[in-house]
Structure 1
Amino acid sequence: MGKKRGARRMSRAETVSAAAGALVPANDQAGRIEAFSFGDPEAVLDRRQLIDMIECWHNERWYEPPVPMDGLARAFRVSPHHSSAILLKCNMLAASFEASPLLTRRAFRALVQDYLVFGNAYLELRRNRLGAPLRLDHALAKYVRRGIVDGAFWFVPGNASETAFAPGSVVQLAAPSVDQEIYGLPEYLSALQSALLNESATLFRRRYYLNGSHAGFILYATGEFADGDVDALREALRASKGPGNFRNLFVHAPKGAENGIKLLPIAEVGARDEFLGIKNTTRDDVLAAHRVPPQLLGIVPANAGGFGDVTKATDAFYELEIAPLQAVFLEVNDWLGAEAVRFRERSAARAA
C-alpha cells in the first residue's frame, strides 16, 4: 500500500511534543488491544507501616504516642459493638472491685476505661504533709505523656499549657506493644477498620433514606396517549411526593402498546447493597478482637439454636478476660507498696 495523501512521518522532537498533550496508545501493533495491569491494589489510607518503622519521637521533654490519642477517643463510639464490649469489661471489673482508702470506685472505673480504650492508664499519687500516701487520683490518659527522663510525666491538654507531674508521682499501666516500650497500644487495633466500615455503612444507609434516593425512578413511556394524559400523569407523580409517599399510581392507556410504560429505578444499586452483610461481618470482627460472647451484648441470634447458655458464656468470659485484666491492675499495688487495688472472688462477686 502506498502512503496516504498529505501524510508524513513525524520527527522525534515532534513526537515528544505531541505526546506531552495527547493520549498515545501503548504498544499499538496493527490495532491489536494490549492489556496490562498496574500491580496489586493498595488502600490509600493503609499507613499501618508507619507504626512499625518509627519509634516514639520526643521534643526534648516528653514522648509522643505512636497512635494519636484523640483518634482513639473518637473511635470509642464508632460502633455499638465496639463501645459495648469495652463498657461490658469495664462494668464487670468495677463490680468485682473493692474500694480502698487510697482508690475510690469512681477513679478505678475511669482507670479501667482508659486502659481499654487507649491501652494506657495513669494514676497520680497524692501525699499528705508528712509525705505518706493520701490517695490515688485518675489522670486522663488522652492528655498524659511520658517524659524522656525516667519517672517523669507531663499533662498536655490541647487547649491549655502543659504541666509536669511531680517526679515519681505517676504510675503507668500499659498494654504491651511489639514495636516500642514507652506507650501501650489497645488490643482492638486490628478490628478498628471493621468498626469504621460498620459506621460508614450505617451513615450511608441513613443518608440514603434522608435524601430520598430510595424513591427515585425514571418513567419511560413510548406508547400512544390521548391529549392531556401526559399532563395528568405528570400531576399524579408530583402529588405522590412529599409526606405520605410510596403511594400506588394507576395508569390506563387504552391505545398503548405492550411495554409502552416502563418504570426504571435509578436507586437500585443502593437498595440492593449488602448492608446487613457488612453490618454482621464487621460486628463479628469487632467481637473477635474484644473476645466477647455475642449473647453478653444482647445480640439476637440468627438461627433457632441461639448462642448457648449465657451463664456458661459469662463464666468462661470472666475466667479468660476479666481475671487477666484484674492481674494487670494489681500492678498498682506493686508500684505503691500498699494494697490500693483488690478484687472480690468470683463466687463472692456472683453472690452479690
Structure 2
Amino acid sequence: MTSLEVPAIPLRELTTLRTGAAPARMLDATTSAELVAALQEVWARGEDWFVLGGGSNLFVGDEPFDGAVVRILSTGVEELPSPHEGRIRLRVQAGHGWDDLVAYTVARGYAGIEAMSGIPGTVGAAPVQNVGAYGQEIQETLVEVELVDEESDGPVVVPAAELGLGFRTSVLKHHYGASPQRRAVIVSVTLDLAVTGDAGRVIHGDQLRRALGLEGFEPVPLEWVRSRILQTRAAKGMLLDEDDADTHSAGSFFQNAIVSEHFARTLPPECPRWPVEPDLDTVTVIPLDSYVGLAPRAERPDGMVKVSSAWLIENSGIRKGFRLPRSRAAISTKHALALTNRGGASAAELSELARFIQGRVHAEFGLLLQPEPVLVGVEL
C-alpha cells in the first residue's frame, strides 16, 4: 500500500445513489500535488481507474470495480485580481464543495454562480458537464482549468474555450456508450466573477426571473437569490437530506432532450420547450491575448430546442413515486426526473427502472432519453 492508498470504502457509502461495492484499490488525495501523484501512480500501473468527488453524478454497478478509485479531497479558494474592472478571479481546488464555493461567493458579494446554489458535488466536476441551473451555467464565468492527463508530465492550464462546453457536456465528459474526447482530471478551476458587494445585481435572464418570481428590474441581493433557489431545490427533493429518500438520487437522471424544431413539432403542444440559446445575463470572458476589439456574438444553434424530459415521463403514463413491483428503486415523489434509492436498492433495480422509463417514453413519443450521470459498471 502506497502512502496515498487507504482501505477501500464501499462506493454505496460515497455516492448519493447509494450503490456500488468496494473497489480493488482506493487512494485519497488531499492536495493538488497528491492528486497528481496518485494519478501518475495509477497510470504507471496500467490500472482501470476513475476519480470520485462528491459522488453525486455517479451511478456505480453492483460488482466490485476491478481497479483504482482516486478520491479528490483537495479544498481551498485563492482570490486573484481580474484584468476586468469590477471583477475578481477565484482559483478553486477541485475537491472543494460546489455549494460551499457558491456560499463563499455570495457572502462576499461576488456574482455569477448564485443561481447554481444547492447543486451537489465538487468544483472539479462542475466544468466536466458544464453544470447549470435556471439559465446560469459555469461556462459564463469559467476562465480556465488546470488539468492532468497521461500524456502530460504534470498539470497544464487549459482555457475554457478549449473544453468544448455545451449543454451538460464538455470534451472531458464520459457520455453513456462513448469515451470522453479527452480523458483528463481537473486539478483546479478559475472563475471570473462580478464584484457587486451589498448592492446585489439586476437579473435579466428570463428563466431565472421566472424561478425567482421577479417582475421589476431592481437589483436584488445575492443572499436573497441563493435563499430562494435553495427553497426551490428543496421542494423538488434536490437538496441532500439523510432522512428524505427523495434526495437519495443523482439529481436529474435523464437529461432534458435537445431536439430539432422539426421533431419538437411532432410532440404535443403542451410539452414545455425552450429555444437553445445562451442566457444573455452573462459576461463573456475573453483572454486578452486573443481580444481583437470585438466580442463574439452569442448565436443560437439553428433549429434546436430543449424539451422537458420530466413532462415526457409523466405523460407517458409514469407518475412521481412510481416503482416496479418488489423494487426498492422509485421515481422521486417530488420530481419526475430523479430516480431514487428508497433503501438498499441495487444498481440492477435502478437500471431496470431506468430502462422501463426509456421504453415507455420512446414508445409514446419516439424519443430515447439519455442518462445524465456517469455510469460505471452499469448498462442501460
Structure showing greater radius of gyration is: 1
Instruction: Specify if TM > 0.5.
Output: no
- Bin the TM-score by the shorter chain: under 0.3
TM-score by length of 1: 0.21
Higher helix share: 1
Higher strand share: 2
